[in-house]
Amino acid sequence: MIILQSGIIEQFKEEEYDKSIEWHKNAEKKRLKFINDYPLDELRNMSLDEYTLKTNGFCHRIQYDLKDMASMGNVYPDAFGVYLTKDKSTPSLSKTYAKLYGEDYDAAFGVIKDDIVKLIEDIKNENYKAFDSNRLNSKFKFRLIITYVPGIIVPVIAKSTLKDYCERVGVVFDKNRSAILQNLALKEWKDAVPDISYWSNEVLMSFCEWLRSNEKKIDGSALQKESYTRKAKDVSEKIDNLNLVGEDRIAVVKTRVNQGVFKDRLLSRYKSCCLCNISNKDFLIASHIKPWSKSEYDERLDVDNGLLLCPNHDKLFDRGYITFDDNGQIIISEKLDRLNRLFMNITPEMTIELTSGNKKYLTYHRENVFNAS
C-alpha cells in the first residue's frame, strides 16, 4: 500500500529516530577506531599478513567490526582481491587479479593497495565514474567508501538492498545505472525533501530499513511536494509578519531562500554560476525562474524553479534582461546595450544546462518576466 501522507515520517521519528541516532553513534565510534588503526596515508605500507590475518587483519575487521554501519552480507574471501586459503597459510588471488598477475602475490597485493587508495581519493574528489572502472569487488568498494568517505553515500552495500530502498521511497531504480550513481540519487531525494533534508545518510538508511521491516512504502514525489508546500508556507508567514512591501519584501525573500534547502540543492546541482565560473557560494544566489510571489507554494522550493547565478546575472535574469530558450540558449533583451552587456559579462553564445523540469518555469519567465521591466 502506498502511503501519501507525511505522517509516515512522524511515525518513524516517534518510533525509531532516537534509536537510529544512538545506533549510528556506536557504529561511528567503531569506524573511527578502524581508520585510526588503518589511516589512508599508511595503507600502502600494510603487509600481506596484516591484510589477510583471519581475526585481526584489515579484511576481517572491515567486514565484521564495521557491520553495524552496513552489512556486507556473505561475501567470499576473494572479494578482497587476495586472501588466504583454508589452510590459512597459502595466499590466493581473485580471478580479476589472477588474470593479471598469476601467482605473483606480492605484485598483485601492491596493486590492490593502490586500487584501494585510488578509489578513496577518486570518491573524495567526486570522481564517481572511477567506481565502475576500479578493479576491486563492488561490495568491497562500497565498504571502503562508507568507511573512509563518510557522508558521501547512503550506507548500503548490496545492489538488491539499494533497489529495495529506492522502491520503498519512490525513487526510480534503473538497473543499467551505475550502483553508486543510483545510491547518490537516493541521497539526493532525501536532500530534496525539506522535512528530512537534515537527516544524515545513516538515518535515511534506518528509515528505509524501518519501511522494509514494516512492509511500507511512501510516494517520494508526493512527500517532496507536501514538504515544499509546508516549508514555503512557513517562510511566507514569517515574511508576512514583517509587513514589508516592494523591494524590501523581495530582499527578505531572497535572503530567506538563500539560507535554506533551495540554495543547497542548487549548489549540489550546479556547483557554480550557470553562466560563468564563479564558484564561491558566498557570491552565488538561488534565483527563482518563476518569481516567488507568482509561484504556488509547492513551486517555491522546487529546485527546477531555480538557477544558481552570480549577483550580476541574477539581477539581469530577475529584471527580465535575459532569459533562455528550451535548449538553454541565452536570449538577451534589446534593452541591454552593448556596453552594459560587456560590463555584465553577457554574450549571445552563452548557454546553460536545463532539466525537463526547468522548461515549464522558463516558459513563464519568457512570457511574463523577460522584457517586462
pLDDT for the residue 89? 72
Residue numbers of the chain with a pLDDT score lower than 70: 1-5, 87-88, 373
Residue bearing cell 544558481: 308
List CB contacts of 362: < 8 A, sequence separation 6 or more: 289, 323, 324, 325, 326, 354
Q: What is the DSSP letter of 303?
A: G
Residue 163, SS3 per DSSP: helix
pLDDT for the residue 373? 65
Residue 255, SS3 per DSSP: helix
Contact 162, 179 (CB under 8 A): yes
Residue 27 to residue 220: CA distance in whole angstroms? 28
Q: What is the pTM of this model?
A: 0.80
How do strand 91-93 and strand 306-309 relate by DSSP bridges?
Answer: unpaired
Q: Which three cell numbers stand for residue 168?
A: 520503498
Residues written for the chain: 373
β-pair partners for 2: 217
Q: What is the DSSP letter of 178?
A: -
List CB contacts of 212: < 8 A, sequence separation 6 or more: 164, 165, 168
Q: Could you give the residue ranges of the DSSP H alpha helices within the chain?
A: 7-12, 18-37, 48-52, 58-64, 95-101, 105-124, 129-133, 138-148, 159-169, 179-191, 201-213, 220-240, 246-257, 261-270, 297-300, 311-318, 338-343, 356-368
pLDDT for the residue 135? 96
List CB contacts of 286: < 8 A, sequence separation 6 or more: 257, 258, 262, 263, 266, 306, 308
Give the Å distances, CA to CA, from 40 to 36, 37, 46, 85, 353.
9, 10, 11, 27, 37
Q: Which helix (H) or strand (E) holds 323?
A: strand 322-324
Residue 285, SS3 per DSSP: strand
Q: Which helix (H) or strand (E) holds 293?
A: none
List CB contacts of 125: < 8 A, sequence separation 6 or more: none
Q: What are the phi and psi torsion angles at 93 (to 5°)?
A: -115, 150
